[in-house]
Structure 1
Amino acid sequence: MAVGESQVGSGSEPAEKEVEARTGWRNTLKKIKRDTTARWGLYVIGFVLAVTAFTLVDSNLSRFTFGAISDFALAEALPVLEHPERLPAPGEAETNQPPMFHADGSLSNPLGTDPNGRDYFTRIVYGAQVSVSVGIAATFLGLVGGTAVGAIAGYYGGWIDDMLMRAIETVYAIPPLILIIVFTVFVSGGSPDVRFAIIGVGIAFIPVFARIIRSEVLSVREMDYIEAARAAGVKDRNIILRHIIPNSFAPVLVYATLQIGVTILIVAGLSFLGFGAQPPTPDWGEMLNTSHGYMHSNVWLSIWPGLAIMITIMGFNLFGDGLQDALDPRIND
C-alpha cells in the first residue's frame, strides 16, 4: 500500500505542475510576450496611455496644486508644445498652415496650425486626453454594470433572470448611437457635455457585457466547487464575487479590450456630431468636425486626427486579439 501511495504521489505531482504551467496569469503573460501582434499592440497602448496621463495631469494642474500652478503649464514650458486652447492674437500666427515637410510649412509647427492659428501638434497630443480617457471610462462603466447584471441573472435564474434579461434586451433593441444621443441631450438639457456622453456610452454597452458573462455563469454555477461552497453555507454574495465572476471573466476581459477601440470611435463620432467634447477642448472627433470644411485647402487637418484614432484603435485591437489567444486554454504553448 505504501508503494501504491508513493506511485500515485509521484505520478500526480508532475501532472499538477503541468496543469499549473498551462494556466494562470504567468502563462498568459508568456503567451502575450511571444505573440508579436499582441506585443506591438501593447506598445501602442502603453504610449497612448502615457500621453493621456501626461495631458490629464497638465490640463488639471490648478486642481492638483490648489491653484498654485495654472493649467497647461507643462505644455507652455516645452519647446514643441503650446497652450492647446488659447487663441493667438490676430496676426500672431498663420491659420491653416501646412505641416513642416510641406513647402510652406514651419519647424515651429510640425503638423501645421488649425483654422484659428493654434498649433495642431499640441491639439493632437491633448486630444488623447478626451478621446482615450473617455473611451476607457465608458467601457469600464459598461463592463461593471454588465458584469453585475449578467452575474446576478445567471446565478439565480428563474424570475430574476427573466426580469433582468428582458430589461437588457429592451435596451439592446435600441440602436446604440440613437440611445447615446437621446440620453446625452435629455440629461444635459440641450447642452451636450462629454461627461454625459460617458454615461450614455456605458449604458449602451451594458447589455453586451451582461449577455456575455451570463452565458459563462450558466455553466460555471454548475461546477462542483460552487456546489461545495453552497453546501458549506457560503453566502451567495461571496460565491458570486469570489468564484462566479473570477471564473467567468476571461471572455469579458477580452471583449472589453476590443470594445475600448470601438468606444473611442463612437466618442469621436459623438464629438464630430457635436454631442461630445465642445470647443475649445481638444478632441480628435471635434477636430475632424472642424477640418471637414477645409478638405480642399488643407487636407492635413483631417489626416492627423484620423491617423491618431486609427493607430489607437489598432493598438487595442491587436492586443485584444493576442489576449484572446493567450486566455484560450485550447491553444497550447
Structure 2
Amino acid sequence: MSEALLVQEAGAAPLAAPASGARQFWRRLRAQRAATAAAAVVLLLFLAALAAPLLAALAGQDPDTFHPELVDSAAGGVPRGSFGGIGADHWLGVEPQTGRDLFARIVYGARVSLGVAVAATLLQVTIGVVVGLAAALGNRRLDQILSRITDINVALPLMVIALGLLAVVPPSFPRPVLIALVIGGINWAGTSKIVRAQALALKTLDFVSAARLSGRGRWSIARRELLPSLAAPVITYAALLFPVNITVEAALSFLGVGIKPPTPSWGQMLTEADTWYQSAPTYLLLPAGLLFVTVLSLTVLGEGVRTALDPRAASRLSIGTGREGRTKEQAS
C-alpha cells in the first residue's frame, strides 16, 4: 500500500471525535466482524511475542541451541522425519543444517518483527505530529520550510536509503533499534501532511479562536485543543501504517541488511529458507504464512479502525447493521 493511498484513507477521518467517542468507537469496531476477528489474531500474535520465553520453556526448547542429530548431514542438512521434523519435542519442526527448534525461533522472531514495527510506527507518528503542528502553527516562512522538507521526504526512496544506511552502520549497533530508527526517521511525511492539513482546518474553529483570544500560547493550544481533535486521523494513519512497517522490516532482512543471525526474525528466516524451499518447504512456509496472516490481519484491523473513527463510514455501518437486524426480525 503506497503512502499516498494511506494519506488519502486516513484523511477521511473526522476532525474531532464525539464526546463519547471511546464508547462509540468500540461499539462500531465490534459491529465489524472482520475487524473483530483481525483484532483477535493481532492480540494473539502480540501475546505470543511477549510470552516468547515462557512458550519456548513450555516446549522445552530455546531458539539458539543446535541439534545436529536431528538433521541428515548426508542429505545436506535436511531435517529428519516428516514435515521438517515436526514431533512431540519440536512442535513446528527444526531448522535445516542447525537443527534449531522452529517454534522457539518463530515466537522469538515475532518479538523482533513486531517490536521493530511498533517502534518505527511510534517514531513516525511522533516526528510527523511535531513537524505538522509546527508547520500549521508557525509563521508563513516556517510553514514553507517545513512543507518543502516534508515534500522532499515524500520523494525519498525508503528502501534505497535504508539499504545504504544499514550497510554502513557498524555491526555493533543493535540491529532492531537501528532498523526502527531508519524506518521511522525516513517515512514520517505522511503523518506530517495529515496533521498539518487537519490543524489548519481546526485553527479556524471557534474553540481554537477563543483559546487564542484568552492569551494562551501556540503550544498550549496545540497540546490542549488541537491534539485531542487530531487523535482520530493520527490513530487511523498509524493503524494503516503498521503492517507496512512489518513488511519493510521483513524486506530489509530478506535483502540481507536487516536482522543478523543468530537473532531470529521472520524476514531473516525467509532469507535463510530461500535455498530450502524444495527440500524443507516447512521452513519457508511458516514465516511466510505468519507474515501473510499478520499483515492481512493488521490491514483489516486498520480499515476497521478507520471506519469506526469516521462518522460517515460508521453511520453507513450502523444503517447496514440496522437493516440486517430488521430483515432477520421479519424473517423470524
What TM-score do you get using the length of structure 1 for normalisation? 0.82
Alignment-derived partner of residue 69 in structure 2:
91
Q: Distance in 1 between matches of 2:111 and 2:265?
A: 8
Following superposition, the deviation at residue 157 of structure 1 comes to 4.5
Q: Secondary structure at the match of 1:249?
A: helix
Q: CA–CA distance in 2 between the matches of 1:281 and 1:103?
A: 21
Using the TM superposition, give the Cα deviation of residue 195 of structure 1 relative to its aligned residue in structure 2, in angstroms.
1.6
State whether structure 2 residue 57 is matched by structure 1 residue 77: yes
Matches within 5 A, 1:292-303: 292-303=274-285
Change beyond 3 A, Cα 1:163–1:52: same
- Tell me which amino acid in the other structure corresponds to 2:297: G
- How do 1:174-185 and structure 2 match up within 5 A? 174-185=156-167
Partner of 2:260: 278
Residue from 69, 78, 89 that aligns with 1:108: 89
Could you give the per-residue CA deviations for residues 242-291 of structure 1, whole angstroms, max 9, x where no partner exists? 11122123122111111111101110111111222110111100100000
Q: AA paired with 2:164?
A: V
Give the 3 Å change call, closer, same or farther, for CA 146–99 of structure 1 in structure 2.
Answer: farther
Q: Using the alignment, how far apart are the partners of 1:246 and 1:284 within structure 2?
A: 36
Sort the Cα spacing of 1:186 and 1:153 in 2 relative to 1 into closer, same or farther, 3 A.
farther
User: What residue is the counterpart of 2:213 in the other structure?
Assistant: 231
Please state whether the residue corresponding to 2:62 is helix, strand or coil: coil
Give, as a single letter, the amino acid of the residue that structure 2 aligns with 1:43.
A
Asked if 1:268 corresponds to 2:246, the answer is no
Cα distance change on mapping 1:53 and 1:295 into 2, 3 Å: same
The two structures have a TM-score, normalised by structure 2, of 0.82
Give the distance between the partners of 1:103 and 1:42, measured in 2 at CA: 31
Unaligned runs of 5+ in 1: 1-19, 59-73
Paired AA for residue 64 in structure 2: E
User: How many angstroms does 1:77 deviate by?
Assistant: 3.5
In structure 2, relative to structure 1, the CA distance for the partners of 1:177 and 1:21 (3 Å cut) is closer
Q: Distance in 1 between matches of 2:85 and 2:156?
A: 49
Residue 131 (structure 1) shift:
0.4
CA contact (8 A) 1:134 1:198 kept: yes
Number of residues paired by the alignment? 294
In structure 1, the residue corresponding to 2:79 is in which secondary structure? coil
Match of 1:201 among 167, 170, 183: 183
**For residue 291 of structure 1, what is the aligned residue in structure 2?**
273
Separation of aligned partners in 2, 1:104 and 1:278: 25
In our comparison, the structure showing a higher alpha carbon Rg is 1
SS at match of 2:99: coil
Residues 105 and 27 from structure 1, CA distance in 2 versus in 1: closer, same or farther, beyond 3 angstroms? closer
Structure 2 counterpart of 1:109, which letter?
Answer: H
Instruction: Return the offset for 1:92.
Output: 5.6
For residues 60 and 150 of structure 2, what CA distance do their matches in structure 1 show?
A: 46
Q: How far, CA to CA, are the matches of 2:171 and 2:244 in structure 1?
A: 26
Indicate how the Cα distance of structure 1 residues 140 and 103 shifts in structure 2: closer, same or farther if over 3 A, else same. closer
> In structure 2, how many angstroms separate the alpha carbons of the residues matched to 1:99 and 1:247?
58
Q: SS where residue 245 of structure 1 aligns? A: helix
Q: Give the SS at the match of 1:278.
A: coil
Calculate percent identity across the aligned residue pairs: 29
Output the CA distance in 1 between the equivalents of 2:23 and 2:265.
37
**Structure 2 stretches of 5 or more lacking a match?**
1-16, 319-332
The aligned residue for residue 48 of structure 1 is 45
Pick one of 215, 237, 241 that aligns with 2:197.
215
Q: Cα 1:325–1:183, aligned 2, differ >3 Å: closer, same or farther?
A: same
Q: Report the alpha carbon displacement of residue 183 of structure 1 after superposing the two structures with TM.
A: 2.5
Please give the alpha-carbon distance, in whole angstroms, between the structure 1 residues aligned to 2:258 and 2:81: 27
CA distance in 2, matches of 1:229, 1:104: 67
Q: Equivalent residue of 1:321, what SS?
A: helix
* Equivalent residue for 2:35, pick from 21, 38, 41: 38
The answer to which structure, 1 or 2, has the higher relative contact order (CA under 8 A, 6+ apart) is 2
